[in-house]
C-alpha cells in the first residue's frame, strides 16, 4: 500500500468517526414494539401483627397492600434492592434487607417517623429470618463466620450492636431460623444447600433438609423434628409454641405442612405443582402468607384454606430506566485493523471503532437491541464482520466504512460464529452450530460447507479455532476427535477432503496460527493441570537456516534488474508523477499470497514438535514478519504476555520473554503490522506493549451509549434461554417443556424493574430444569470486601448481658493470634472507640483490611492491666481459610488420637489444582509413616482433579530402592511420583458434590477401600460460566457424567458402604461420629494387612 493511499484512508476514517459521533450518538436501546405484556413479580411477603396488611418485595422495593387484596402502595424505594420485609411484633417497625451498603445488610424502619437505622455491616448477605417476640432481637443467617459457604445462625439487637452466634455448628449449614414465642428454643433448617438455591424446582438429594430445634438449656441441646429425605425448610411457630409449620416437598410438590412437637406431620396445602417460597406466619399463628407462582397467597391455618391475594401496584419502582453510559473499560473483545491505524471493539454488546494510535472517543458502529460480538477486520482495513443475534439467531453481518452501510451476510436459524476474512479478502470463513466449517464468498454472496466436526458451540467455543493459509487456499481448524482429544485438521478452501495433521492425546486447545511463509502451523495444546504447550506442525520437511549462509549469499551474483519501461524524462523538473492506483488491493494480495502453500501429508505426524517455551501457554499468535510468537501464559496465578523468537537466524537463544507483569486477566493479544508492538485486552481495557521497551501503555478509548434496561433485560433473557436451549447437557431438558418455560417467564422478565429482579427470575427459570450447576450472578467487580477480620469469636451471654466482648475463640495464625490475644480476654476498643452494647464491631472494622489498627485488650471487663495491640485485619476469605486449616488440624489430631497413633488424616476441600497441591503437602512424612490414612471429602465443593488425587491413592508398591548406607525406600516417591501406598478409607457426606462425587465413584469402582458417612449430593454435571449482555454471569452445564456401567450420576448420589449420619450440633460436643466409624473400620484393615505381612515374613 502506498503512503499516499494510507493517508487518504486515515482521513476517511477520521471523517467517518466525526460523522458517527455527531449523527449517531443519540441512538438508544428501545424495547421491542411487540414485546410481551409485562407481569409484576411479588415475592417475600410478610403479614402484619393484626393480619390486616401484607408487606412484600417487588421491583427491588418494599410495598404494602391490604391482606384482603387491592392496591399496593410503595413504602421503601431505593435504586438498590430492598427485600425480605418483616414486621416487628408490635407492628411499629419493619426490618428488611438492603444492598445499598453492600451485599445485603439489615435495616430497621420506624413506620411512624420514617427513621431508618442500619443494623449490620457485613460484606456478604445477612439473610433476615425473624424478630424475637419481645422485639429486642433480629435473627438472621450468614456465611461470614463459618467455613466455605456454610451458614450460621446469629442474632443482633434491634437497636444495634455486634451480632452474636446463636448456633454455629462448625462446617455445617444452618439457616432460616425462627425463635419460639417464649424465646427458649430456636427452630431452624439444617443440611443441604436450599439456602442458596431455594429457587430450584423438584426433588434432589443435595436439597434435602430438615427442621431442627436448639434448646436454651444448659447443654444447648439439639433435636431433629422432621424425618429427612425431603426438602423441609422455613419453620414457623404457632402462637402456643407447641406446633410448627414449615414447607416440604415430601408429597412430590412443595406445600405447607404442620407438625406438633410431639406428634405426626400433616400436609396443609394441596398444591400439585409450583413452588411454595418465603412463608411468614402472623404472630397469633392464624395466617401464613407465602409466594406461589410469582404471586402472594394467604393461608388460614385453622381451616387450611389458601387463596391468592389479588394485588395491583400503585407507584413506580426505582428501576434504572434509560441510562447514558460512558465506557472506558468493560470491553469484551478487541481487534486491531491490519493497517494498524484503527481498533474495533465490543462493549456492552455493541461494536465501536477508534484510532489505534490516539484512542479517544469511539465511533459506534452498531445500534441494535441484540448483542453483537466476534468482530474482525477485512484485509484492506475498510470493513468489519461480526455476529449479531438481532434476528433471533446468531448471523453474520458486514459493515463497510466506505459506504457507512451494513449488510447481513447469513440467514439461518442456527448459530453462526467467528467470521474471519481470508487474506485475499475474497472469502469469509465461519462456524455454524458448532458442527460446520463454512466459507462465504464475498462477490457471489454464496456460502459453502467445507467440513464438519465437533468445533465447539458458542459461547463455549475456542477463541481462534481456525486459521487461513497466507495464500487463502487452505483452512486449518481445531476439532474434537476420539476420546475428546483436540487436534488440527486442514481442508482446501475450494472444497475437498479434510486431513488430520496433528495426533496429540490432549483435550484442550484454544488457538491455531498459520505461519506467514505458509510452511508450518502453530497451536496451543494441553491437558488440565499440566502446563500448556505450543505445538508446531511442519507442512513440508523443514530445512534449517544458518547464519553462515547469510555471509555466503553476499558472493552470489545479483540478478540483473529489469529494464525501466518508462523512458526517463529529458528534464527532471518535467517528470510526470506516477498516477495513483485506484485500488491497490491486488498488489497486497499478491504480496500476501506469495508462492502457493504446499502440504506434504506423508509422515506429517512425525513432523510435530513442541516449542521449548517453558511457560504455561494458553493462547498464541504469530507476528506478521514471522519472527515472533506472542503468548498469554499463566505463572504464579497471574496471566501475562510473553514473546518467543521464531527467527532461526537470530543470534539470541530463543527463550520466552515476559512483556507484562500485571495481575489482570488478558486476552486478544495481536501484533501491530510492523511486528513491533502487541495490542491486548486487560480487565476490559485496551493496552499496547512494545517488544523492545516492554513498558505497557493504555489505549484510552471512550464509548458512549444509552442503555435502556427495559430493552436489555429482554435480550439477557433471550440469551440465557437460548444458551440452555442449545447447550444444556440433556436435549430433553430433564422432561421440561423448554419452550413453554420461555412463554411463562417472558411476561415476568418484561415486568422486572431492576437487574437483581431480572436475575432472580432467571434463577427461577433455570430452576425449572431441576438440574445442578445452574445459576445467575451479578456482574463481577461490584461490592468489594471492606470489613476487616481479626480471627475472633465472642461469648454471646457476656455480650448480651453486659455489653462486653469476651474472646471465646482465637483462630490460629489470625491477626489476633499473631498478637498473642487469648481466649478469655476482653476486647475493649478499636482505634480508640470503646465497645458497648450498641457497638457493632464490624462497623468499627469497616475499611480496615490490611491497615494498621490498634485494639485495646484486657484480662477483665473493667479494663485492669489493659494493653494495646497493633493488628492488621484480613479479609473474609483469609479468615475463612485460617478457620478451615484449624479445623483440618483438629481432625488430624482427632484421628491420630482415636487410632492410637496408627492412622493419618487428610481433608480435600475442593477438587481444584490448588487443593491437589495442598493434598501433596498434607500427605507429608508423618502421614506417610502411618499404617493407613483417612481421606475426608466431606463438604468438598468439586472441581476437576479427581483423577489426579485418585492416582496418589491407587498407585501400588512394586519396587524398592536402596542407597548404600541408607534405609530402603519405595521406588515411586524416590523417582518423584506422588504415591501413598497405604490402606485408606473415604468419608463423604451430602455436601460432597460434583467432582468429589467423581472421586467417590472412582474410589469405589477401583476398590481402594470402604466409603463411610452419607451418600454424596447427586449434583454432578460439568459446567462453564458465560456472560450475558449486561455482564451477568450465567452457568451452562453441558457435559453429562455417567459411571463405567452407564449410570447417570446427576440426581443419583454415590452410595456408602457404612452409613453414618452426623447429628447437627456435634461440633459442640467434641465428637465426630463419622471419623470414629472410619477409624474403627480402617483399623480392621491395617490390622489384617499387618498380620498378612508378618505371616509372609515368617
Question: Measured on CA atoms in the order 714, 720, 722, 725, is the torsion positive or negative?
Answer: negative
- Under the banding of pLDDT at 50, 70 and 90, the label for residue 922 is very high
| Cβ atoms within 10 Å, residue 984 | 22
Domains of the chain with bracketed CATH:
1-30+329-461 (2.130.10.10), 79-310 (2.120.10.60), 709-777 (3.30.750.44), 792-874 (2.30.42.10), 899-1018+1053-1097 (3.90.226.10)
Which residues, 6 or more positions from 1088, have their beta carbon under 8 angstroms from its beta carbon? none
Q: Which pLDDT does position 530 carry in this prediction?
A: 87
pLDDT at 120 over 50: yes
Closest CA to 24 of 319, 323, 350: 350
Q: How confident is the model at residue 548 (pLDDT cuts 50, 70, 90)?
A: low
Strand partners, 95: 86, 108
Q: What is the DSSP letter of 596?
A: P
pLDDT at position 27: 32
- Please give the average per-residue pLDDT across 418-442, as a whole number: 97
pLDDT for 583 beyond 50: no
Position 417 confidence tier, pLDDT thresholds 50, 70, 90: very high
Give Cβ neighbours of residue 800 (< 8 Å, ≥ 6 apart). Answer: 164, 837
pLDDT tens, position by position, 759-768 = 999 999 999 9
Residue 35: pLDDT over 60? no
Given a cut of 80, whether residue 591 has pLDDT beyond it is no
* Spatial strand order in the sheet of 383-388: 372-377, 383-388, 395-400, 405-408
Structure confidence by residue, pLDDT tens digits, 870-888: 999 999 999 999 999 999 9
Q: Which pLDDT band holds residue 904 (cuts at 50, 70, 90)?
A: very high
CA 1089, 1092, 1096, 1098 dihedral sign is positive
Mean pLDDT for all residues in the chain:
91
The answer to whether residue 938 scores a pLDDT higher than 70 is yes
595 versus 351: the higher-pLDDT residue is: 351
The x, y and z cell numbers of residue 476, run together, are: 486449518
Query: What share of residues in the chain are helix, strand, coil (percent, to 5)?
Result: 20, 35, 45
Query: Grid coordinates in use for 925?
Result: 512424612
The proportion of the chain whose per-residue pLDDT surpasses 70, expressed as a percent, equals 91
CA angle 949, 951, 953 (to 5 degrees): 80
Give the pLDDT score at 1033.
Answer: 94
Distance CA 66, CA 68 (A): 5
CA–CA distance, 1080 with 849 (Å, rounded to integer): 45
What is the average pLDDT across 791-808? 97
pLDDT band at 609, cuts 50/70/90? Answer: very high
Question: What is the reported pLDDT for 560?
Answer: 52
The stretch 1015-1030 carries a mean pLDDT of: 94
Give 649's pLDDT tier (boundaries 50, 70, 90). Answer: confident
Q: Report pLDDT digits (tens) over 226-273.
A: 999 999 999 999 999 999 999 999 999 999 999 999 999 999 999 999
Nearest partner of 133 among 153, 158, 152, 96, judged by Cα: 158
- The answer to whether 615 and 642 are in contact (CB under 8 A) is yes
Q: Are 434 and 461 in contact (CB under 8 A)?
A: yes
**What pLDDT score was predicted for residue 28?**
35
Sign, CA dihedral 1031-687-5-629, equals negative
Distance CA 765, CA 776 (A): 10
Residue 129's CB is within 10 A of a number of other CB atoms, namely: 25
Q: What is the pLDDT of residue 679?
A: 98
Encode pLDDT of 372-416 as tens digits.
Answer: 999 999 999 999 999 999 998 999 999 999 999 999 999 998 899
Please report the pLDDT score of residue 472 as a whole number: 98
Q: How many CB atoms lie within 10 A of CB 861?
A: 15
pLDDT at 320: 84
Q: Which of 443, 406, 451, 449 is nearest to 427 (CA)?
A: 443
For residue range 716-737, list pLDDT tens digits in order.
999 999 999 999 999 999 999 9
Q: What is the pLDDT of residues 443-480, one digit of tens each?
A: 999 999 999 999 987 788 888 999 999 999 999 999 99
Cβ contact 141:161 at 8 Å: no
Q: What is the pLDDT of residue 1091?
A: 55
Categorize the per-residue pLDDT at 218 as very low, low, confident or very high, splitting at 50, 70 and 90: low
pLDDT of residue 529: 77
What are the residue ranges of helices labelled H in 840-978? 841-844, 876-898, 913-922, 925-928, 946-954, 971-974
Amino acid at each position: 500500500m502506498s503512503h499516499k493511499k494510507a493517508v487518504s484512508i486515515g482521513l476517511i476514517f477520521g471523517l467517518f468517526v466525526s460523522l458517527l459521533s455527531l449523527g449517531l450518538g443519540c441512538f438508544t436501546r428501545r424495547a421491542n414494539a411487540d414485546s410481551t405484556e409485562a407481569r409484576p413479580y411479588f415475592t417475600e411477603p410478610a403479614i402484619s401483627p393484626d393480619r390486616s396488611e401484607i408487606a412484600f418485595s417487588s421491583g427491588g422495593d418494599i410495598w404494602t397492600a391490604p391482606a384482603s387484596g387491592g392496591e399496593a402502595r410503595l413504602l421503601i424505594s431505593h435504586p438498590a434492592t430492598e427485600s425480605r420485609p418483616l414486621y416487628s411484633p408490635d407492628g411499629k417497625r419493619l426490618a428488611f434487607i438492603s444492598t445499598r451498603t453492600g451485599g445485603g445488610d439489615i435495616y430497621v424502619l420506624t413506620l411512624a417517623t420514617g427513621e431508618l437505622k442500619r443494623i449490620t455491616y457485613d460484606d456478604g448477605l445477612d439473610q433476615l429470618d425473624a424478630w424475637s417476640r419481645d422485639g429486642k432481637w433480629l435473627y438472621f443467617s450468614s456465611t461470614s463466620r463459618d467455613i466455605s459457604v456454610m451458614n450460621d445462625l446469629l442474632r443482633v439487637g434491634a437497636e444495634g450492636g455486634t451480632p452474636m452466634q446463636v448456633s454455629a455448628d462448625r462446617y455445617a449449614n444452618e439457616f432460616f431460623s425462627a425463635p419460639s414465642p417464649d424465646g427458649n428454643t430456636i427452630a431452624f433448617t439444617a443440611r443441604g444447600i436450599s439456602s442458596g438455591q431455594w429457587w430450584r424446582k423438584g426433588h434432589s438429594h443435595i436439597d434435602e433438609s430438615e427442621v431442627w430445634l436448639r434448646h436454651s438449656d444448659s447443654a444447648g441441646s439439639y433435636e431433629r423434628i422432621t424425618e429427612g429425605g425431603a426438602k423441609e425448610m422455613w419453620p414457623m411457630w404457632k402462637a402456643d409454641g407447641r406446633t410448627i409449620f414449615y414447607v416440604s416437598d415430601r408429597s412430590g410438590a412443595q406445600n405447607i405442612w404442620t407438625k406438633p412437637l410431639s406428634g405426626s406431620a400433616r400436609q396443609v396445602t394441596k398444591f400439585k405443582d409450583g413452588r411454595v417460597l418465603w412463608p411468614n406466619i402472623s404472630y397469633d399463628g392464624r395466617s401464613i402468607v407465602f409466594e406461589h407462582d410469582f404471586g402472594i397467597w394467604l393461608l388460614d391455618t385453622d381451616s387450611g384454606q389458601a387463596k391468592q391475594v389479588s394485588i395491583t401496584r400503585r407507584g413506580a419502582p426505582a428501576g434504572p430506566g434509560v441510562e447514558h453510559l460512558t465506557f472506558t473499560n468493560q470491553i469484551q473483545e478487541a481487534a486491531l485493523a491490519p493497517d494498524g491505524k484503527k481498533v474495533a471493539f465490543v462493549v456492552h454488546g455493541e461494536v465501536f471503532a477508534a484510532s489505534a494510535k490516539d484512542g479517544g472517543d469511539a465511533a459506534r458502529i452498531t445500534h441494535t437491541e441484540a448483542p453483537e460480538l466476534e468482530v474482525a477486520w477485512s484485509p484492506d482495513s475498510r470493513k468489519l464482520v461480526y455476529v449479531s443475534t438481532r434476528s433471533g439467531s446468531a448471523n453474520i453481518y458486514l459493515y463497510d466504512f466506505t459506504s457507512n452501510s451494513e449488510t447481513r451476510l447469513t440467514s439461518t436459524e442456527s448459530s453462526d460464529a467467528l467470521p474471519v476474512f481470508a487474506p485475499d479478502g475474497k472469502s469469509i470463513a465461519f462456524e455454524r452450530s458448532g458442527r460446520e466449517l463454512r466459507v462465504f464468498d464475498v462477490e457471489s454472496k454464496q456460502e459453502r460447507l467445507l467440513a464438519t466436526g465437533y468445533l465447539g458451540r458458542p459461547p463455549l467455543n475456542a477463541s481462534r479455532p481456525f486459521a487461513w493459509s497466507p495464500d487463502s487456499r487452505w483452512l486449518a481448524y481445531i476439532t474434537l476427535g476420539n476420546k475428546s482429544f483436540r487436534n488440527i485438521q486442514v481442508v482446501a478452501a475450494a472444497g475437498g477432503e479434510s486431513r488430520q495433521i496433528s495426533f496429540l492425546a490432549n483435550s484442550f486447545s484454544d488457538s491455531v496460527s498459520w505461519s506467514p511463509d505458509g510452511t508450518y502451523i502453530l497451536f496451543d495444546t494441553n491437558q488440565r493441570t499440566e502446563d500448556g504447550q505450543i505445538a508446531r506442525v511442519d507442512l513440508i520437511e523443514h530445512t534449517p537456516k544458518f547464519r553462515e549462509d547469510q555471509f555466503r549469499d553476499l558472493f552470489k551474483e545479483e540478478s540483473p534488474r529489469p529494464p525501466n519501461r518508462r523512458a526517463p524524462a529529458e528534464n527532471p523538473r518535467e517528470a510526470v508523477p506516477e498516477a495513483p492506483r485506484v485500488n491497490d488491493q491486488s498488489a497486497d494480495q499478491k504480496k500476501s499470497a506469495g508462492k502457493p502453500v504446499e502440504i506434504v501429508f506423508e509422515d506429517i505426524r512425525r513432523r510435530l514438535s513442541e516449542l521449548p517455551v517453558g511457560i504455561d501457554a494458553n493462547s498464541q499468535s504469530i507476528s506478521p514478519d514471522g519472527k515472533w510468537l506472542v503468548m498469554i501464559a499463566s505463572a504464579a496465578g497471574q496471566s501475562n504476555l510473553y514473546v518467543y523468537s521464531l527467527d532461526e537466524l537470530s543470534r539470541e537463544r530463543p527463550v520466552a520473554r515476559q512483556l507484562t507483569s500485571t495481575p489482570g486477566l488478558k486476552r486478544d493479544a495481536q501484533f501491530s503490522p510492523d511486528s513491533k508492538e502487541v495490542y491486548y485486552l486487560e480487565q476490559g481495557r485496551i493496552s499496547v506493549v512494545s517488544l523492545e521497551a516492554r513498558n505497557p501503555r493504555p489505549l484510552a478509548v471512550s464509548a458512549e451509549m444509552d442503555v435502556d434496561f427495559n430493552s436489555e433485560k429482554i435480550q439477557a433473557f433471550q440469551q440465557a434461554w437460548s444458551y440452555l436451549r442449545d447447550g444444556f447437557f440433556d436435549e430433553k431438558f430433564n422432561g421440561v417443556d423448554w419452550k413453554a418455560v420461555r412463554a411463562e417467564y417472558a411476561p415476568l422478565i418484561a415486568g422486572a424493574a431492576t437487574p437483581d429482579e431480572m436475575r432472580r427470575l432467571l434463577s427461577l427459570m433455570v430452576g425449572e430444569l431441576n438440574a445442578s450447576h445452574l445459576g445467575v450472578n451479578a456482574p463481577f467487580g461490584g461490592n468489594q470486601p471492606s470489613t476487616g477480620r481479626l480471627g475472633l469469636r465472642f461469648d454471646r451471654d457476656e455480650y448480651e448481658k453486659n455489653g462486653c466482648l469476651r474472646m471465646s475463640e482465637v483462630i490460629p495464625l489470625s491477626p489476633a493470634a499473631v498478637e498473642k490475644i487469648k481466649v478469655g480476654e476482653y476486647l475493649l476498643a478499636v482505634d480508640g472507640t470503646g465497645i458497648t452494647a450498641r457497638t457493632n464491631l464490624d462497623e468499627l472494622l469497616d475499611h480496615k483490611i490490611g491497615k494498621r489498627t490498634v485494639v485495646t485488650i484486657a484480662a477483665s471487663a473493667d479494663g485492669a492491666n489493659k494493653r494495646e495491640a497493633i493488628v492488621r485485619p484480613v479479609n473474609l476469605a483469609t479468615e475463612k481459610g485460617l478457620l478451615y486449616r484449624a479445623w483440618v488440624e483438629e481432625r488430624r489430631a482427632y484421628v491420630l488420637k482415636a487410632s492410637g497413633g496408627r492412622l493419618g488424616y487428610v481433608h480435600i476441600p475442593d477438587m481444584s489444582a490448588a487443593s491437589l497441591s495442598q493434598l501433596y503437602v498434607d500427605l507429608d512424612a508423618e502421614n506417610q509413616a502411618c499404617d493407613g490414612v483417612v481421606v475426608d471429602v466431606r463438604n468438598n465443593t468439586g472441581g476437576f482433579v479427581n483423577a489426579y488425587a485418585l492416582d496418589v491413592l491407587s498407585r501400588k508398591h512394586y519396587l524398592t530402592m536402596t542407597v548404600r548406607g541408607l534405609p530402603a525406600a519405595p521406588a515411586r516417591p524416590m523417582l518423584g511420583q506422588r504415591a501413598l501406598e497405604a490402606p485408606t478409607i473415604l468419608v463423604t457426606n451430602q455436601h460432597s458434590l460434583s467432582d468429589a462425587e467423581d472421586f467417590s465413584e472412582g474410589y469405589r469402582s477401583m476398590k481402594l477401600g470402604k466409603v463411610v458417612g452419607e451418600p454424596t449430593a447427586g449434583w454432578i454435571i460439568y459446567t462453564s460460566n458465560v456472560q450475558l449482555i449486561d455482564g451477568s454471569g450465567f452457568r451452562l452445564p453441558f457435559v453429562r457424567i455417567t459411571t463405567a456401567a452407564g449410570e447417570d450420576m446427576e440426581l443419583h448420589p454415590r452410595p456408602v458402604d457404612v452409613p453414618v449420619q452426623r447429628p447437627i450440633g456435634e461440633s459442640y460436643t467434641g465428637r465426630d461420629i463419622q471419623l470414629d466409624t472410619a477409624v474403627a473400620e480402617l483399623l480392621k484393615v491395617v490390622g489384617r494387612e499387618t498380620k498378612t505381612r508378618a505371616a509372609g515374613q515368617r
